[in-house]
Amino acid sequence: MRRRWQTATAGLVAAALLFTACGGGSGEDVASRFSSCSVTAGIADASAEPVGEPNIIIGAFVGWDESTAAAHLMKNILATNGYDAQVKTLDVRAGFSATANGEIDVIPDVWLPTTHSSYIDRYGSRMDPLGCWYDNAQLTIAVNSSSPARSIADLATMGGAYDNTLVGIEPGAGETSVVINRVIPEYGLADLTFRSSSTADMLGSLQQATDDQRNIAVTLWRPHWAYTEFDIRDLEDPKGAMGGEEGIWNFATKGFGDSAPKAAQMFTNLILPDAGLAELEYLMVQRYDRADPDGAVVEWLSAHPDFADRLVAGTLGE
């Protein structure tokens, strides 16, 4: 069992009080609690915080490259600040359950207010938010740029141009739920085959369609390296069914800020701008072929030598 420290930073206490006051885990609309992402909220100098429990497990969602990037980046920086951090890759549903149950300490890829709202409604009372580190995330449906559709609505009448198929990702992903419960009914896409399998399958299908010069429609999200690798564009979403702009948050198992105060504040201090995140994802996926994310982080940090110190000091937002 973890030792529970009796102190926590003011920023973490404020975040916990906000979550409690807004009814975390009560089943109410998550958008009312996390509709605004301020990447500088709760930031503070973590240098003097006690290390506490040194062993930390970070959860990364399978197939979500920004999840892998954030998890391994924090693993590296935590290792130079008194922690033995490990990354465990698992699907979205299992990641939330494991964090709520204390088997995972932190998941750094919680999209709110839309994508992962159902998971926060279910597990939020057993988790603590540790800040929002990216404020420009968005779920998308993307097509090859040369294809005819301009709006998601066009797929209802132009489905034949895309083999009457929308290629999705993991069945348990928040985006999959959004497509099934909002996008398909709101745009009348019931006649399309929605193929939900895995992120790897979606990207493989995108690569194959590109090679074959065929039209394809896929569920995707920003940020994602695919936008620089493939000639694709987003379909307009006039009904806002995909949920609009979202923030990417860290969530920890309940009490993590007490058991590992310095680590909790470091997660709260994390901020990754568009260019930095895109560069890190590109290194992991393209140069290291997903085989050595830790090596990609080392290379990225060598190009950004002050990033780790600024994260600990809480000055990334300046």
Is position 3 within any domain? Answer: no
Looking at the fold, whether 29 and 84 belong to one and the same domain comes out as yes
Does residue 167 belong to any structural domain of this protein? yes
Domain membership flag for residue 100:
yes
Which amino acid does the sequence have at 268?
T
Structural tokens at position 256: 């993590």
For residue 163, give its domain range.
139-234
Q: What are the residues whose beta carbons fall under 8 Å from the beta carbon of 108, sequence distance 6 or more?
A: 58, 60, 67, 70, 71, 74, 133, 248, 250, 267, 270
The answer on 119 and 31 residing in a single domain is: yes
CA distance 306 to 292: 22
- pTM equals 0.81
How many distinct structural domains can be found in the chain? 2
Given 189, 205, 234, the domain boundary residue is: 234
Residue-level pLDDT at 247:
95
- Give the residue ranges of the chain where pLDDT is below 50: 1-27
d(CA 275, CA 226): 14
Question: Is the distance from CB of 189 to CB of 242 less than 8 angstroms?
Answer: no
The one-character DSSP state at 236 is: B
Tell me: do 88 and 146 sit in the same domain: no
| Whole-number pLDDT of residue 60 | 98
- Rounded Cα–Cα distance for residues 87 and 106 (Å): 10
**Alpha carbon 41 to chain centroid distance?**
18
Residues 195 and 277 in one domain: no
Closest by CA to 213, choosing from 120, 145, 281, 291, is 145
| 27 within a domain of the structure (yes/no) | yes
Does one domain contain both 21 and 122? yes
Q: What is the pLDDT of residue 5?
A: 29
Distances (CA, A) of 237 to 17, 136, 143, 191, 242: 35, 16, 13, 19, 7
Closest-CA residue to 143 (of 128, 127, 154, 133): 154
Q: Please, are residues 264 and 9 in contact by the beta-carbon 8 Å criterion?
A: yes
- Three-state SS string across 120-169, please? HHHHHHHEEEEEEEEEEEEEEEEEECCCCCCEHHHHHHHHHHHCCEEECC
Instruction: Indicate whether 280 and 290 sit together in one domain.
Output: yes
Which of 207, 234, 261 is where one domain is finished? 234
Tell me the CATH number at 164: 3.40.190.100
**Shared-domain flag, residues 176 and 97:** no
CA distance 81 to 295: 19
Domain assignment present for 4: no
Residue 280 host element (H or E):
helix 274-282
Gap between the terminal Cα atoms of the chain: 38
Assign residue 120 the CATH number of its domain.
3.40.190.10
22 shares its domain with 129: yes
At 104-144, the pLDDT tens digits run 999 999 999 988 999 999 999 899 999 999 999 999 999 99
Domain stops at, among 234, 267, 295? 234
Q: Is residue 91 part of a domain?
A: yes
Taking 3-state DSSP, the helix, strand and coil percentages for the chain, each rounded to the nearest 5, stand at 45, 20, 35
Q: Which string of b and e fits 138-159 if b means at least 16 CB within 10 Å?
A: bbbbbbbeebebeebbbbbebb
112/145 same-domain check: no
Q: Are residues 189 and 63 in the same domain?
A: no
Q: Is residue 242 part of a domain?
A: no
Looking at the DSSP assignment, which residues form a beta bridge with residue 131?
Answer: none
Is 133 in the same domain as 152? no
Give dist(CA 64, CA 43) in Å, integer. Answer: 25
If asked whether residues 148 and 124 sit together in one domain, one would say no
Domain presence at residue 239: no
